[in-house]
Amino acid sequence: MNIQRDERAHARMREKRARCTPRPQLEDYSRKYELYFRMKRDNGVLEVQMHSDGGPAIYDLKLHNDWAQLWYDIGNDPENEVLIFSGTGDKWLDYTERSQYEESLADLPADSFYDHQFADSMKLLESLIFNVDIPTISCINGPGFHTEFALLCDITLCAEHAVLFDPHFEIGLVPGDGQGLVFQELMGLKRAAYYMYTADKIDARTALDMGLVNEVMPVDALLPRAHEIAAKIMKQPRATRRLTSAVIRRPWKRLLVQDLGYHMAHEMMGIRLDATV
């Protein structure tokens, strides 16, 4: 009798949900973001790889904007149960001439500066931590900047040849858009201060010793290992997986609420003030 009552209750809930606003579908948002992100899903495990023209990802304004929107769609798709996030080839995220904005950030009108720099930069981290409510595994597949997104994932795997660094201060910017903040949390204040001022490279083994990453391995082993961990996670009930991810992410939520806006505001203020000198 209880089984029949439960089945009727589930049927009524399915009917009600069928009348709700449709949730994002993988076939739709995989096309929406295909210029910079390749996606495939198997048994609830969503694999997302950054890329540019099929090779290592190159940072530019569109990638910067798409990244934040991507987290919303992934988090709002109930078919996603575990996220694996990686770069392509042997680099995490490259910076080239293609990365340069057509107009200097310091010269942008106030509204454009807010929309394309301050707001986007905030949402890159916030939407990952607050909107992706499933276990997350990242694969740092090589050197590159903006590795804070990989470090914010629940589990971080790292290629042997990868290096981590925060280049902001070295190029005249306040380290305020996430990398420095994540360094402070994971490696401690004194170490983070050193690497924020010097922009020195942190090799993979040192990153492991510091507790920045969980495992170091050859680049070709990253995705197979990530899927192995994801399969282990998927053995547990859905509610257990999601509630565990909430517990793991709680300290990051607290940190972003307390400090991300402060860090970001100082970086943006530095850009504006330096332009007037």
Condensed to tens digits (0 to 9), the pLDDT of residues 1-35 reads: 455 556 676 677 667 767 788 899 999 999 999 99
Residue-level pLDDT at 143? 96
Residue 233 pLDDT > 80, yes or no?
A: yes
pTM over 0.85: yes
109 vs 57: which has the higher pLDDT: 57
Mean pLDDT of 59-74: 89
What letter represents residue 106's amino acid? A
What are the residue numbers of the active site? 148
Residue 121 pLDDT > 60, yes or no?
A: yes
Tell me the per-residue pLDDT of 128-167, one tens digit each, with 9 for 90 and over: 999 999 999 999 999 998 999 999 999 999 999 999 999 9
Residue 195 pLDDT > 80, yes or no?
A: yes
Q: Which of 68-77, 100-109, 115-124, 255-264 has the lowest mean pLDDT?
A: 100-109
The second-level CATH assignment, the architecture, of 23-276 is Alpha-Beta Complex (3.90)
13 vs 184: which has the higher pLDDT: 184
Residue 112 pLDDT > 70, yes or no?
A: no
